[in-house]
Structures are given as C-alpha cells and as structure tokens.
Amino acid sequence: MKLCRGFVRLALGLMMLFALPAMAQATELEGVEADRYQGMINQLRCLVCQNQTIADSNAPLAQDLRDQVRTQIQSGRSDAEIIDYVTARYGDFVLYRPPFKRSTWLLWGGPFALLLGALAIAVSLMRRGRQRPVSAAVDPDRLRKLLDEESR
C-alpha cells in the first residue's frame, strides 16, 4: 500500500513537471492580453490539421503561429493587425470566421438561401393541401349501405 501511494505521488509529481511549460506559457500574458490571445488562437485554423484551431493543434506550424500571436500582442499590435498578418500569408482560409466578400458570399448566404427555399416549398405544399377539395360530401345513402353490409 505504501509503495502504491509512493507511485501515485511520483506519477503526480511527474505530471505536474510536464505541465509546467504549458503553465509558464499561459502566464506570460495577463488579463486582457491573455483573453485576446485565447480569443485569437481559437479563431485561427491550423492549416496542417485543418479541422483544428491553432489552439487545439500540436502541429509545429500551430506552435509557430501561437508564438507569433503572443509576441505580436506583447508588442502592442491590434487584433485586426494580427489577422492581417496571418491572412496575408495564409489567406482567408485560416479564419474560422471568414470576411463577407465576393468569394465567400455563397458560404455566408447559402444556408439562408436553402432555408428560404425550404420555407417556400413548405408554404406552397401547405397551400396546395388546403386548396385541394376535400370530399366533404359523404353520400349518406352509400355510407348506410356500407354500414349495413358490415353489420350483416
């Protein structure tokens, strides 16, 4: 038991040791700057592993970009300037929220166009359903005949 507890303590100690660099990095920026850093790295795409942000990715390129974002924030550059820096090199594709422009109108407008189309189809179907004459006129004689046959 004592040996086991020793192992746990050792393992915990090792884990904390490995966590140190990450903690050291996180404390480099403070307050607003740290928030900006987090916001920034969570909206930039890692181009090596495309469905991850540079915050999530362990790729060396993501590491480089995180370092760039950090040093640029530290040197007092604005968010817009940093975005410009990254898109000048890697294009709008690095942005998880690309700007609205000629090449991206379909991306932004597409879902709304689909929604409108679906609504239009739904409305026209509902109208048609209402317009179709429901044969309300039940022939009482025929109904009686059918019921009579049933009960016979």
Partner 1 sequence: MRVRYLAPIAVLIGLTVLFVFGLGHDPREVPSPLIGKPSPDFTLRVMGSDEPYQRSQLLGRPVLVNFFASWCAGCKVEHPLLMELSRRGVEIVGIDYKDTDAAARQWLDKHGNPYAKVIADVQGTAGLDWGVYGVPETFVLDAAGTIVYKQIGPMTEEAWITRIAPLMGAH
Nearest distance from residue 89's CB to partner 1, in Å?
A: 4
**Residue 56: what residue type?**
D
Tell me the closest approach of the beta carbon of residue 126 to partner 1, in angstroms: 15
Nearest distance, CB of residue 64 and partner 1, angstroms: 6
Of 29 and 90, CB closest to partner 1: 90
Question: Three-class SS of residue 52?
Answer: coil
Q: Where on the chain is the footprint of partner 1 (CB under 8 A)?
A: 47-48, 50, 60-61, 64-65, 68, 87-93
Closest alpha carbon to 48 in 28, 65, 25? 65
Task: Give the whole-angstrom CA distance, residue 133 versus residue 123.
Answer: 18
Question: Are the C-beta atoms of 40 and 73 separated by less than 8 Å?
Answer: yes
Comparison of 2 and 128: residue with beta carbon closer to partner 1: 128
